[in-house]
């Protein structure tokens, strides 16, 4: 069966996938709750609904995306017609993470299938219930030679990386991303790396603080902070630090009540290893709010930290949990020094009503993507490319950007045969002066 070139087959297969996901919506909620008590609302909002929306968008548009694109021809090649063809790479390996195990398995898979590739998906072993369900949906939808899910631990992923692939798509940590990049380099395999970073959230004194607090709390503590684009730390103007802290506390209580452990809307840490790493980062005397933890439940409450030591363990790497350090600045030199300590982040967030300040931040700092006066939600727009820069990743996807990521763009020039302009052929003789004049026009 030729999976790569039959656009109708690709479309029908993705329609079947959409049908099967809709059938399993209750199972998706149950699996994610079983893996780390993810609230049903967050599962539907940040996992299944995003996949369903992406599928509908891709099914609707994939024929136009796949159609050869005619481009303006060069007069040097007159007469000709020039096209760009979207060609599938072939065999694709997708390695997905545990923190959004349904969404981040299916989004790249959908794009790869739409572009005409066959896919081997390696979901995370840290979310066994969700990974088993992902595998089940794939078996119900695809021919095994077209798309297959391979379950197992990190040794299985390492074995897969030793094989020759036409494209590799990895989502996960920067440390593992380097391992993937090294493996891909052995065969000069093109890759996309969706990694992470220490995402700053700057709040200046002109911001709408009540709104900022609500949006920061939502973006940071959704999925118990286990989100690659969550604000990693706050950088707050000294004038408004106290007021913002009070508003953050009020919003945290509004969202999760006085005892977040009892809240049905707050997820758990994925495993005991991550729980131990996170709790070890907290210095009790710096706690402004929260800090409670229960190892048996893998529970760590939403926590605010008064951070004044940029050399602390909390500030050395990506937190990836419900701990929010609060740092301060007095001027833009302070911002420059703080952000300059870290590699380019996956996301940057800025709360301000000062348009000139906004322009300077956007102009001076490189980051994968971000929001002005909000957090996280840029990910939800399939018309925006999603990806990192530098240590936070390479490549992009979502919507057409995902289709293009998994497509080789093949350039084709179709030259007319009814005429042949001979100036380019040897013997060159006195043609040099003419070709110089012609080239000056282009």
Q: Which domains does the chain have, with CATH numbers?
A: 7-195+389-410 (3.40.605.10), 200-380 (3.40.309.10)
Strands laid side by side in the 69-71 sheet: 69-71, 80-88, 407-415
Phi, psi of 423 (to 5 degrees): -60, -25
Q: How confident is the model at residue 77 (pLDDT cuts 50, 70, 90)?
A: confident
Catalytic site residue 295? no
Answer for the pair 408, 88: CB distance below 8 angstroms, yes or no.
yes
Catalytic residue among 42, 47, 194, 307: 194
Would the pLDDT of 88 be above 90?
yes
Burial group, residue 129, by CB count within 10 angstroms (0-12, 13-18, 19+) = middle
User: Using one digit for the tens of pLDDT, what is the confidence trace for 195-212?
Assistant: 999 999 999 999 999 999
CB 199 within 8 A of CB 165: no
Tell which residue, 136, 115, 102, 117, has the closest CA to residue 58.
115
Residue-level pLDDT at 440: 72
Q: Give residue 327's pLDDT band: very low, low, confident or very high (50, 70, 90).
A: very high
End-to-end CA distance of the chain: 46
The mean pLDDT of 416-442, rounded to a whole number, is 82
d(CA 57, CA 305): 41
pLDDT at residue 15 tops 70: yes
User: Is 228 noted as a catalytic residue in this protein?
Assistant: yes
Cα–Cα dist 321/268, whole Å: 10
The pLDDT confidence band at residue 167, using thresholds 50, 70 and 90, is very high
User: Strand 69-71 to strand 191-194: parallel, antiparallel, or no bridges (unpaired)?
Assistant: unpaired
Q: Is the pLDDT of residue 65 over 80?
A: yes
What is the per-residue pLDDT for 13? 97
pLDDT of 297 above 50: yes
For residue 365, the SS3 value is coil
Residue 424's pLDDT band, with cuts at 50, 70 and 90, is confident
What global pTM score does this model have? 0.94
Q: Looking at 228, 251, 318, 358, which residue is catalytic?
A: 228
Place of tokens 């700092």: 365
Task: Give the pLDDT confidence of 330-358 residue by residue, as tens digits.
Answer: 999 999 999 999 999 999 999 999 999 99
Q: Specify whether the CB–CB gap between 250 and 293 falls below 8 A.
A: no
Tell me: the pLDDT tens digits for 137-149? 999 999 999 999 9
């Amino acid at each position: 069966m030729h999976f790569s070139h039959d656009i109708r087959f690709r479309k029908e297969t993705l329609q079947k996938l959409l049908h099967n996901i809709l059938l399993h919506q209750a199972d998706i909620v149950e699996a994610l709750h079983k893996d780390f008590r993810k609230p049903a609302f967050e599962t539907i909002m940040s996992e299944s609904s995003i996949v369903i929306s992406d599928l509908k968008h891709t099914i609707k548009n994939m024929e136009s995306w796949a159609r050869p694109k005619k481009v303006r021809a060069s007069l040097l090649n007159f007469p000709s017609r020039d096209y760009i063809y979207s060609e599938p790479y072939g065999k694709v390996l997708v390695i997905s993470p545990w923190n959004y195990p349904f969404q981040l398995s299916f989004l790249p898979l959908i794009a790869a299938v739409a572009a005409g590739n066959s896919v081997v998906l390696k979901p995370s072993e840290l979310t066994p219930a969700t990974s088993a369900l992902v595998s089940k949906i794939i078996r119900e939808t695809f021919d095994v030679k077209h798309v297959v899910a391979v379950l197992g631990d990190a040794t299985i992923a390492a074995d897969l990386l030793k094989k020759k692939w036409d494209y590799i798509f990895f989502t996960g940590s920067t440390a593992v991303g380097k391992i993937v990049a090294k493996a891909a380099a052995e065969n000069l395999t093109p890759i996309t790396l969706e990694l992470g970073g220490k995402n700053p959230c700057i709040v200046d004194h002109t911001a709408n603080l009540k709104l900022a607090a609500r949006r920061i709390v939502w973006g940071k503590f959704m999925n118990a902070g286990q989100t690659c684009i969550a604000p990693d730390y706050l950088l707050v103007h000294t004038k408004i630090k106290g007021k913002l802290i009070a508003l953050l506390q009020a919003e945290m209580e509004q969202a999760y009540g006085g005892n977040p452990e009892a809240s049905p809307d707050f997820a758990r840490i994925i495993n005991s290893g991550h729980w131990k790493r996170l709790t070890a980062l907290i210095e009790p005397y710096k706690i402004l709010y929260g800090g409670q933890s229960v190892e048996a439940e893998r529970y760590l409450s939403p926590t605010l930290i008064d951070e004044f030591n940029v050399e602390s363990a909390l500030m050395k790497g990506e937190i990836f949990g419900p701990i929010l350090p609060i740092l301060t600045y007095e001027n833009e030199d302070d911002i420059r020094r703080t952000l300059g300590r870290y590699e380019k982040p996956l996301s940057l967030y800025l709360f301000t009503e000062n348009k000139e300040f906004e322009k300077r931040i956007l102009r001076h700092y490189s980051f994968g993507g971000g929001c002005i006066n909000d957090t996280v939600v840029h990910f939800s727009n399939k018309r925006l490319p999603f990806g990192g820069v530098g240590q936070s990743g390479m490549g992009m996807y979502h919507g057409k950007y995902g289709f293009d990521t998994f497509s080789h763009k093949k350039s084709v020039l179709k030259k007319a045969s009814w005429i042949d302009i001979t100036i380019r052929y040897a013997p060159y003789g006195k043609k040099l002066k003419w070709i110089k004049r012609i080239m000056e026009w282009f």
